[in-house]
Amino acid sequence: MLNAALPAKKQASKASRRFWRNPAAIVGLVLITLLVLIAALASVISPDPIVQNLSNRLLPPSSEHWLGTDQLGRSVWGRVAHGAALSLQVGVIVTLISVSVGVLVGLLAGTFGGIWDNVLMRVTDIFFAFPSLILAMAIAAALGPSLTNTIIAVAIVNWPSYARLVRAQALALREREFVEAARAIGTSRLGIALRHVLPNTLTPVLIQASFDIGQAILTAAGLSFIGFGAQPPTPEWGAMVSETRNFISEAPWASSAPAIAILLAVLAFNLVGDGLRDALDPRNTH
Amino acid sequence: MLNYTIRRLFFVLFVVWGVSVATFFLSQVVPGDPALVALGDKATDEMIANFRVKNGLDKPVVAQYFSYVGRLLQGDLGTSLRTGRPIIDDLRDFFPGTLELSITALLIAALIGIPAGILAALNQNRPPDFIIRFLALIGGATPIYWLAILLLEFLHNKLRILPGPGRLDAYLIAPTRVTGFVGIDALLARDWQVFGDSLAHLILPAFVLGAFSSALLARMTRASMLETLSQDFIRTARSKGVSQSQVVIKHALRNAFLPVLTVLGGVLGGLLSGAVLTETIFSWPGVGRYTTDAAISLDFPAVMGVTLLAGMAYSIINLVTDLLYALFDPRITYA
């Protein structure tokens, strides 16, 4: 946690300076910016991802087809670029849902304690007991394979870690002087939760969330790879690797380009996550 | 310690009960009709009605749940709609494959990840550290199915130095099943050719499955080692003139290993998830592939069975890790 002795403004500027001096974090940020730009401008800067042209099957990368073509003659660059928006959406929406649910549950459990804490945390424990991909696959299979259901499945798998994180923070804060002071002047428990506990849990949540966006992209792509996520011809990266895997010897670019896109996206969010942790939580830095 | 263990065992029971409720609830939201899945499109209305009565699908949901739990308590996970066999028998066949793969993967991950993490920590901010951190970053972000496809293409199809998918070459006959672990069964049968082949078949899938975890372990070990090396007792040992190797082996490693131990449990759970992808690509007859096949054909009793057992296994792994933690660190006592 941040050093409580320093005023908040000074801490923030120190943290921001530490972040901007971290070359790995800047690389991550540049990669994310590039991804967002590609996602936003995909239809302007890349060809149609769906239109097939069988006379152009499995062409190697060239000035006309930057990343070559796949087994149906579609531009791999077009598909990777259009897939960027899908993957980013999945990563961000999954994380938003998991953060909202997890923070709410953790805050209620940590601030109200007693029966609330017991019931909510036991539910959290049950969700923690599943290996993530098996649970996500079961949910995606139950709801039917689609990108929306993948988002729901991965969010259900991801929220418990936020609940634990926020609860632990809330418990630690409960003993702090400023919370005791708030209690002494008669602030309600809800008021304490919203005004004092919530703002102080945002830093660890932000750090965790930046890692989780990348992990959500990786899990969702894995689900699509085994057939439970986006369905063809959707240009989703995991599904693209799966569709083109049988052509790896003739056209390695067709499956490698989306796979490298996944790698770079996950890497970018991990680097930013590392950078944020190092900047905001220097005691945990190595 | 005994009290704590008993309390934790109750907790495991509670979690398993919760897992049974969650899996049962999930099976209720399946859009496909299990009767149609089991009997096929050509089933008559009468056949469907009979199937529903026979499997208790005509009863209210709560009654279905209680009869499900009743069967579970007798060790009956139900019958797979796809294979038509008791699920527990299916899992008995497939589980050794996954265990063999996961344990080898964990070994590979530990053998690569832990020494790499130590090496990086001892060379902080020097080239070995940068290289290991870079590789760990890449390893943690690489989709393992792509790594699997690439390695199969180069090491099997192109260079022919490692065997392809499956647990044994097609021309070999699997040894008589004793333990279900092909390697061990081959050893028991003194069939050296099958033993060698089964080990060779294990290398690629286990490496692929362990790659992600080795990256995680390298990062954890490095962080934990750096934390330990900056502690006062290390400085004291150094100031007393203890050699670098003694400091690392005698003082730092033992302390640095504790946080690593806590992630090992999680790593094993992660391997169960990873097995879904790895087994699918390597046509590995394990629980991961069984679950994928079951989920694709909406065989929900089988998916529920696996999810339930996985939840149970995960809770027990966590319990064992916590107990080991106490064993390794005498400062930790559980009231």
In angstroms, the separation between the Cα of residue B146 and the nearest Cα of chain A is 6
Residue to mutate among B212, B229, B273, B287, with most A CBs inside 10 A, is B273
Taking residues A260-266, report their average pLDDT: 97
Of B19, B31, B222, the CB nearest to A144: B31
Per the structure, the count of domains in chain B is 2
Identify the domain boundary among B40, B73, B106.
Answer: B73
Indicate if the pLDDT at residue A212 is higher than 50: yes
Domain that holds residue B289: 87-328
Of A214, A248, A271, the CB nearest to B149: A248
The answer to whether A221 and A151 have CB atoms below 8 angstroms apart is: no
pLDDT at A2: 47
pTM of this structure = 0.90
pLDDT at B30: 67
Indicate if the pLDDT at residue A211 is higher than 60: yes
Residue to mutate among A119, A134, A211, A248, with most B CBs inside 10 A, is A134
Residue to mutate among A159, A164, A231, A286, with most B CBs inside 10 A, is A286
| ipTM reported for the complex, 2 dp | 0.89
pLDDT at B332: 61
Is residue B82 in a domain?
Answer: no
Is residue B95 in a domain?
Answer: yes
Same domain flag for B54 and B101: no
Same domain flag for B198 and B261: yes
Residue (of A142, A223, A134) closest to B309 by Cα position: A134
In angstroms, the separation between the Cα of residue B307 and the nearest Cα of chain A is 7
Is residue B48 in a domain?
Answer: yes
In angstroms, the separation between the Cα of residue B1 and the nearest Cα of chain A is 22
Residue to mutate among A120, A130, A158, A281, with most B CBs inside 10 A, is A130
Residue (of B37, B35, B56, B30) closest to B45 by Cα position: B35
Distance of alpha carbon A95 from alpha carbon A155, whole angstroms: 7
Same domain flag for B167 and B201: yes
Is residue B334 in a domain?
Answer: no
In angstroms, the separation between the Cα of residue B16 and the nearest Cα of chain A is 8
- Residues of A in Cβ contact (< 8 Å) with B31: 142-144
Question: Which percentage of chain A shows pLDDT scores above 90?
Answer: 58
- Residues of B in Cβ contact (< 8 Å) with A132: 270, 273
**Two structure tokens written together for B293:** 């096949």
Burial group, residue A113, by CB count within 10 angstroms (0-12, 13-18, 19+): middle
Of B18, B29, B303, the CB nearest to A143: B29
Identify the domain boundary among B73, B100, B128.
Answer: B73
Same domain flag for B265 and B128: yes
Same domain flag for B68 and B94: no
**Two structure tokens written together for A278:** 């190092």
Task: Find the CATH number of the domain harbouring B133.
Answer: 1.10.3720.10
Distance of alpha carbon B292 from alpha carbon B302, whole angstroms: 10
Is the Cβ of B305 closer than 8 Å to some Cβ of chain A? no
Of A225, A248, A255, the CB nearest to B277: A225
B227 contacts A138? CB cut-off 8 A: no
Of A131, A144, A228, the CB nearest to B314: A131
Same domain flag for B64 and B106: no
SS3 B86: strand
pLDDT at B56: 77
Residue to mutate among B118, B149, B155, with most A CBs inside 10 A, is B149
A135 contacts B146? CB cut-off 8 A: no
Distance of alpha carbon A105 from alpha carbon A97, whole angstroms: 12
pLDDT at B154: 95
Same domain flag for B220 and B264: yes
Distance of alpha carbon B72 from alpha carbon B20, whole angstroms: 9
Distance of alpha carbon A156 from alpha carbon A94, whole angstroms: 9
How many contacts does A have with B, using Cβ atoms within 8 A? 137
Is the Cβ of B314 closer than 8 Å to some Cβ of chain A? yes
Is residue B58 in a domain?
Answer: yes
pLDDT in tens, chain B (335 residues): 778 788 878 888 888 888 888 888 877 776 667 777 677 777 888 888 888 887 777 888 888 888 888 888 888 888 898 898 999 999 999 989 998 999 999 999 999 999 999 999 999 999 999 999 999 999 999 999 999 999 999 999 999 999 999 999 989 888 888 888 898 999 999 999 999 999 999 999 999 999 988 999 999 899 888 888 888 888 888 888 888 888 888 788 877 777 777 777 777 777 877 888 999 999 999 999 999 999 888 888 888 888 888 887 878 887 787 777 777 766 665 54
pLDDT at A284: 54
* Other residues' Cβ atoms within 10 Å of the Cβ of residue B7: 12
Distance of alpha carbon B258 from alpha carbon B255, whole angstroms: 6
Distance of alpha carbon B119 from alpha carbon B126, whole angstroms: 11
pLDDT at A1: 44
Instruction: Spell out the CATH class of A79-278.
Output: mainly alpha
Of A139, A252, A286, the CB nearest to B223: A286
Identify the domain boundary among B21, B41, B73.
Answer: B73
Same domain flag for B54 and B190: no
A226 contacts B277? CB cut-off 8 A: yes
Give the pLDDT confidence of A138-147 residue by residue, as tens digits: 888 888 888 9
How far is CA B117 from each of CA A19, A280, B54, rounded to the nearest angstrom?
Answer: 24, 24, 57
**Two structure tokens written together for B284:** 């590995």
- Residues of B in Cβ contact (< 8 Å) with A225: 143, 145, 277
B306 contacts A133? CB cut-off 8 A: no
Rounded to 5 degrees, φ, ψ at B292 are -60, -50
- Residues of A in Cβ contact (< 8 Å) with B142: 259, 263
Of B145, B146, B295, the CB nearest to A137: B295
Same domain flag for B211 and B318: yes
Same domain flag for B42 and B144: no
Is the Cβ of B277 closer than 8 Å to some Cβ of chain A? yes
How is chain A split into domains, by residue range? 79-278
- Residues of A in Cβ contact (< 8 Å) with B141: 214, 218, 262-264, 266-267, 270
Same domain flag for B294 and B177: yes
Of A127, A241, A249, the CB nearest to B146: A241
- Residues of B in Cβ contact (< 8 Å) with A248: 149-150, 153
Same domain flag for B93 and B229: yes
